[in-house]
Amino acid sequence: MKVFDRQGAKVRLDDISAEPPKGMTREKAEARFATLGQELFDLQDAMFGAKVNSVMVVLQGRDSAGKDGAIKHVVGCLNPRGVIVTSFGVPTPEEREHDFLWRVHRHAPRLGEFSIFNRSHYEDVLVVRVHDLAPKAVWKERYGHIRDFEELLAEHGTIILKYFLHITKKEQEERLLEREESPETAWKLNPTDWKERDHWDEYTQAYEDAISKTAAKHAPWTVVPANAKWYRNLVIAESIVEALRKRRKDWESTLEKMGREGREELAAYRAQAAAAKGAKRKGK
Ligand code: ATP
């Protein structure tokens, strides 16, 4: 796993392992994930009540990298009341009539909530760049727009966490072939995935640039070793929990203050009601 939180950082995906570290086993990872899941649920509850922060999770990765699987596992730890998952596919005609951030901004989380993005505004500097869907002069400007956009969200209290699910070319091949064989995953079969694979190196370059140009303290990128699904889930859960834990004290003091104010208001109401009742009795 590698975290990038500084603009301009050197990103070399080929130098980052897609495998779990030595000594990590599926058993250990799943046990730790279960513990983290409980903590995540509690943190979400505190954030939901305090309403001073929100979370935007961006999941990016090549076809079959496991975006859906990661969402299934992470969302499984959360209270559905406070989480919305949005998938970004090929823009609709209406979306094309707006700037590229329009469709994304509408799904940015409200205070207290989680927004999880399956693909995102980053497609506009990835697929768009690789397939020349917009002139270079257009997509080049987008890194700056993305930085400004994420800064705006962060100023509004959004905790932004961006994940690149890192798999090897070989692992992708195995996963795509498996889809052809297994009836459970046959619905995911898509010839485009094989066509996209031919652009592997161009995507690598596009991802490295996107990560490097938009990494920031308030919007870090984590390159998640994703060849093993159980380790991928653990890394994402651990990273979200770590980011939220830092705010826990703030949320707890906000909740305490809310409780105090609520109790004071209630006491004032009760005193007023009792006084009104007394006055009524005297008047009889
Ligand atoms: P998954 O996203 O899990 O791979 P899928 O391929 O079924 O599943 P869809 O929602 O049908 O997902 O569409 C995803 C496709 O939309 C991808 O090929 C992606 O590159 C493309 N896409 C997303 N955003 C844009 C964009 N801004 N411009 C052009 N194509 C885009």
Angle of helix 200-214 relative to helix 136-155, nearest 10 degrees, comes to 40
Q: How far apart are CA 227 and CA 232, in angstroms?
A: 8
Whole-number Å distance, alpha carbon 246 to ligand 1 midpoint, is: 34
Distance 131 CA to ligand 1 centre (A): 13
d(CA 126, CA 155): 26
Confidence of residue 284 (pLDDT cuts 50, 70, 90): confident
Which residue's alpha carbon is at the smallest distance from atom 23 of ligand 1?
89
Q: What is the CB < 6 Å shell around ligand 1? A: 63, 67-68, 87-91, 118-119, 123-124, 127-128, 133, 190
> Region 69-95: what's the mean pLDDT?
97
Give this prediction's pTM. Answer: 0.95
Among protein residues, the one whose CA lies closest to atom 31 of ligand 1: 90
Q: CB-based burial of residue 201 (10 Å sphere; 0-12 exposed, 13-18 middle, 19+ buried)?
A: exposed
Is the per-residue pLDDT at 282 higher than 90? no
Domains and CATH numbers, the chain: 2-246 (3.40.50.300)
Q: Distance from the CA of 90 to the center of ligand 1, in angstroms?
A: 5
Q: What's the average model confidence in pLDDT over 176-186?
A: 86
Two tokens at 191?
A: 């010839």
Query: What is the rounded average pLDDT of the residues 43-69?
Result: 97
Mean residue pLDDT of the chain comes to 96
Within a 10 A sphere around the Cβ of 155, how many other Cβ atoms? 9
Q: pLDDT value at position 186?
A: 81
3-state secondary structure the chain: CEEECCCCCCCCHHHCCCCCCCCCCHHHHHHHHHHHHHHHHHHHHHHHHHCCCEEEEEEEECCCCCHHHHHHHHHCCCCHHHEEEEECCCCCHHHHCCCCCHHHHCCCCCCCCEEEEECCHHHHHCHHHHCCCCCHHHHHHHHHHHHHHHHHHHHCCEEEEEEEEECCHHHHHHHHHHHHHCCCCHHHCCHHHHHHHCCHHHHHHHHHHHHHHHCECCECEEEEECCCHHHHHHHHHHHHHHHHHCCHHHHHHHHHHHHHHHHHHHHHHHHHHHHHHHHHHHHC
What is the CA(92)–ligand 1 centre distance, in A?
11
Give, rounded to a whole angstrom, the gap between the first and last alpha carbons of the chain.
Answer: 77
| pLDDT of 184 above 90 | no
Instruction: Name beta bridge partners: 117.
Output: 58, 86
Beta bridge partners of 85: 116
Mean pLDDT of 149-165: 98
Residue in the block written with tokens 């596009």: 206
Amino acid in position 55:
V
